[in-house]
Every structure is written in structure tokens, then in C-alpha cells.
């Protein structure tokens, strides 16, 4: 099977969508299928990338770590002549998502769209606090989904939200998988020694892009309060992003810089060792559609304390493999202290429950389920005789009209909501 994936983010960008694309493409390739990934170019991108096509892009758009594709008609022409796709898998509803729809129409190929993100939560990178832009983005993503043959939702809460917003295309709930076996083995002692964390230290850890949408301000306040009360507690932060300076300055101003451990981005075994060095994983983001880092922490045997939000309930069972609390500092710190004060035996039971939960999110199971959906779509596609040049032009014109319609509808809804 020839599969073409279109994603606005990929290596070296760090985030859940990138990992989802990497995991799925790796699993499908292991099963003998060809996967071509189309993505913007980034600073410091890998040099050797078989079957990865980079399109020209504006780097560090609006001061962020995102790259934004520059429209380049015909750029994929040679690739498409060599690879006739059996399936198109879009991972975003705009930019390269538009290109995915055009290719799907040109080749009469089924198109799958994974709704990874509630995109309206990221509009601050373009225009701060614009309700019009947020409404526009939500409507655009909804109408885009309705042009696709299948929508994949990474969690039940996402699927429910999409149905409420008016997505009527067929939908499947398929959480992104991880390498469960890899996360089982990590070197806690080596990692703690490297970062001068005492053996007896109680480590609260966080792995993410360090950005406003991850609710960094709330998390900083909550952990600061906990560190003041628990003198053997440390805060381990793994990742990078625009909020790193403010986070670092906050702990410095409060006299806690010696117990803030900032590692930057970690990958492979270094990341796994970091999870194993933690006693508790803390998470305050309310914008997640799945929260892969929660599953990674649990697969490493590290329970989670998280603020309630989309997809969190799909992973955490309160008081069993971690805690879910509302976004109040006292409740969040109270949940962390609850775990800290448990007996060793109780902590062990919760860690075992966390590991058991993670088993449901294996990359192998994820790959099989997505592949089954691909095959179902391909097998149900009607047989189409070769088209005349006029029919191809007509098909291309129709998809452009559909794209114009969803853009116009999104703008109309946004303006209407802005004024009423």
C-alpha cells in the first residue's frame, strides 16, 4: 500500500503530532507499506530522511518554533508521478491539509484526517485573544473534517466535542500508541546523579513544550507552593519553548532555582531515564486531545497528577493510577501531597496500576487499527474508469470550490458570533 501523510509539523519539532506521525509511519513501514511524509522544512532538520518531502516554509513564524508552509504549486508533481497514493492521511485541516484534499481529489483517493488538536487554543501565536479568529478556526476544522472520508479522534472526549461541533463524517476513536516495552526500562539513579538530584529527593516531573497553552503559569504557582512546604521536593522540567524564560525567572524570584531542574529537550533513552527518575508526573494543560506524555509516564511506572481537561479521563482513574483535580492550586498541591504521604506499599500499587493502564496504548495495536481503516476505505472505494482531461479539470475545480466554501463559511460564522 502507498500511503501519503501530510503534516504541518515533523522532526525536529517536538510535540504530540510529530510523535503520532512518526509512530504510525514506523509501524506501517514495519508491516511492508510505503509511507511518504510531506511536511515543511525546519531549522536543523535531519539530513537523511528517506521518504520525507520537505516543502519551503517560513521558520519561527511570529516568534514561535513553528514553520509555516509557503504555497508552491506543482512542488509535489514529480513525487506523485512516481507514487500513486492508495490513501491520503492528513494531520492538519489547513496549509498542507488543503494540499491533501487536492491530491485526494486528483487521484480519487480516500482521505483520512486525524483531529489531533483543538486549534483554537493556539491562536495566540497569530493574534492574542481574538474570539473571531478562534471561532473561524473551529468552524474551518469542522468543515474540513466533513470533506474527509474518515476522521480519527485520539480520545472519546475529542470525538464527543467534534460531534457537538457538527462533524458528520464517519469517525473512529484511535488513541496514538507508544513503544510500551521501551518505556519499561530506565536508569533512575544514573539520571539523578547526572542532574545532582539526591536519592531521597521527591521529584515532580513535567515533559512538554514549555508554552502558554500548556498552562505553565498555573503549574509554576502550584509547584512553587509545594516546594516551599516539602523541602525534599524537586521540580524536573523536560522540554523547551517560549515560556522557558518566564518559568525560570519565576522560580529564581521565589528563591527556588536550586530545586528547579531544566534539562531542555530529551529523546530516546535519556527521556525514558527522566521518566524513571520522577516520583510523580504533574500536568496542568487543558488543551490536550490525548496527552501522550501521560501514557509515557505511566508506562514508566510514574503516576500522574493532572488538571481535569479533554482526554484526561480517558487515561487517569482518580485515586487508582493517579489523580485528577480542578484547576485550583490548593487542590493540585493537595493531590501531590496525598501521593507523597502514602505508604510504600500503596505507592507501589498505584505504580502498577499506571503501568497496566499504559498497556492499552501500544503502538502495535494502534498501527493495526489504523491499517484496518485504510483497507476498509480502499476496498469500499467505487471503481472509477480513467478520466478525461476535462473531467480532471472539473474535479480540481470542484475541490477548489469546496475549499472556498469552507473558508467562507468559517469567516461568516466567526463574524456573526463576534457581533451577537
The domain spans of the chain are: 2-177+363-419, 180-361
Q: Which residues are registered as beta bridge partners of 150? A: 112
Backbone angles phi, psi at 385, to 5 degrees: -70, 160
CB 220 within 8 A of CB 257: no
Tens-place pLDDT, residues 279-308: 999 999 987 888 889 999 999 999 999 999
Q: Which residues are registered as beta bridge partners of 111? A: 88
The predicted pLDDT at position 76 comes to 73
Using CA atoms, how far apart are residues 392 and 417, in angstroms rounded to an integer?
A: 38
Using CA atoms, how far apart are residues 328 and 228, in angstroms rounded to an integer?
A: 17
pTM comes to 0.81
Question: Is 2-177+363-419 in CATH node 2.10.10.100?
Answer: no
* Alpha carbon separation from 165 to 40, 118, 135 (Å, rounded): 29, 12, 11
Closest CA to 283 of 260, 258, 302: 302
- Where do the H-state alpha helices sit in 72-187? 77-82, 96-107, 131-145, 156-165, 180-184
Q: Which residues of the chain have pLDDT under 70?
A: 58-75, 77, 123-130, 382-397, 399-400, 403-404, 406-420
Backbone angles phi, psi at 52, to 5 degrees: -120, 125
Question: Is 180-361 in CATH node 3.40.50.2000?
Answer: yes
Which residues does 179 contact at the CB level (< 8 Å), separation at least 6? Answer: 23, 363
Closest CA to 402 of 195, 172, 218, 144: 144
Local structure of residue 361 (DSSP, 8 states): G
Closest CA to 264 of 189, 208, 196: 208
Using CA atoms, how far apart are residues 3 and 388, in angstroms rounded to an integer?
A: 25
The predicted pLDDT at position 388 comes to 57
Q: Reduce the DSSP state of residue 53 to 3 states and report it.
A: strand
Using CA atoms, how far apart are residues 233 and 230, in angstroms rounded to an integer?
A: 6
CB 176 within 8 A of CB 15: no
Burial of 187 (0-12, 13-18, 19+ CB in 10 A): middle
- Per the rule left: phi > 0, alpha: psi between -120 and 50, beta: everything else, 112 is beta
Q: Reduce the DSSP state of residue 282 to 3 states and report it.
A: strand
The predicted pLDDT at position 186 comes to 97
The per-residue DSSP string of 318-329 comes to BTTTEEEE-S-H
Using CA atoms, how far apart are residues 103 and 222, in angstroms rounded to an integer?
A: 48
Measured distance between the N- and C-terminal CA atoms of the chain, rounded to whole angstroms: 49
341-366: string of b/e by CB count within 10 Å (b at 16+)? eeeeeebeebbebbbebbeebbbebb
Amino acid at each position: 500500500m502507498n500511503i501519503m501523510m501530510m503534516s504541518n509539523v515533523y522532526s525536529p519539532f517536538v510535540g504530540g503530532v510529530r510523535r503520532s506521525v512518526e509512530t504510525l509511519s514506523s509501524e506501517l513501514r514495519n508491516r511492508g507499506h510505503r509511507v511518504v511524509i510531506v511536511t515543511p522544512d525546519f531549522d536543523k532538520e535531519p539530513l537523511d530522511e528517506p521518504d520525507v518531502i520537505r516543502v519551503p516554509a517560513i521558520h519561527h513564524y511570529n516568534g514561535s518554533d513553528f514553520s509555516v508552509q509557503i504555497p508552491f504549486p506543482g512542488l509535489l508533481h514529480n513525487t506523485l508521478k512516481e507514487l500513486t497514493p492508495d490513501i491520503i492521511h492528513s494531520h492538519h485541516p489547513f496549509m498542507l491539509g488543503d494540499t491533501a484534499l487536492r491530491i485526494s481529489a486528483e487521484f480519487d483517493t480516500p482521505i483520512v484526517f486525524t483531529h489531533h488538536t483543538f486549534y483554537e487554543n493556539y491562536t495566540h501565536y497569530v493574534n492574542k485573544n481574538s474570539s473571531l479568529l478562534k471561532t473561524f478556526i473551529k468552524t474551518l476544522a469542522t468543515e474540513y473534517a466533513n470533506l474527509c472520508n474518515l476522521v480519527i479522534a485520539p480520545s472519546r472526549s475529542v470525538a464527543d466535542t467534534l460531534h457537538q461541533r457538527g462533524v458528520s463524517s464517519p469517525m473512529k476513536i484511535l488513541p496514538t500508541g507508544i513503544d510500551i516495552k521501551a518505556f519499561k526500562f530506565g536508569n533512575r539513579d544514573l539520571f539523578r546523579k547526572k542532574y545532582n538530584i539526591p536519592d531521597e529527593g521527591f521529584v515532580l516531573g513535567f515533559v512538554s513544550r514549555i508554552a502558554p497553552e500548556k498552562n505553565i503559569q498555573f503549574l509554576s504557582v502550584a509547584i512553587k507552593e509545594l516546594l516551599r512546604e516539602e523541602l525534599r521536593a524537586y521540580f524536573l522540567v523536560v522540554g523547551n519553548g517560549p515560556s522557558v524564560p518566564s518559568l525560570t525567572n519565576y522560580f529564581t524570584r521565589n528563591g527556588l532555582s536550586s530545586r528547579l531542574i531544566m534539562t531542555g529537550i530529551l529523546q530516546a533513552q535519556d527521556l525514558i531515564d527522566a521518566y524513571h527518575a520522577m516520583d510523580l508526573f504533574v500536568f496542568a494543560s487543558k488543551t490536550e486531545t490525548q496527552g501522550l506524555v501521560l501514557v509515557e509516564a505511566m508506562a514508566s511506572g510514574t503516576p500522574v497528577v493532572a488538571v481535569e481537561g479533554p482526554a484526561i479521563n480517558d487515561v487517569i482513574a482518580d485515586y487508582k493510577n493517579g489523580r485528577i483535580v480542578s484547576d485550583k492550586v490548593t487542590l493540585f498541591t493537595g493531590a501531590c501531597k496525598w501521593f507523597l504521604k502514602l505508604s510504600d506499599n500503596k505507592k507501589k500499587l498505584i505504580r502498577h496500576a499506571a503501568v497496566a493502564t499504559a498497556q492499552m496504548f501500544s503502538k502495535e495495536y494502534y498501527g493495526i487499527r489504523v491499517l484496518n481503516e485504510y483497507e476498509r476505505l480502499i476496498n469500499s472505494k467505487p471503481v472509477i474508469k480513467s478520466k478525461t482531461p476535462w473531467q480532471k479539470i472539473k474535479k480540481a475545480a470542484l475541490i477548489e470550490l469546496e475549499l472556498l466554501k469552507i473558508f467562507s463559511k468559517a469567516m461568516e460564522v466567526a463574524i456573526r458570533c463576534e457581533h451577537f
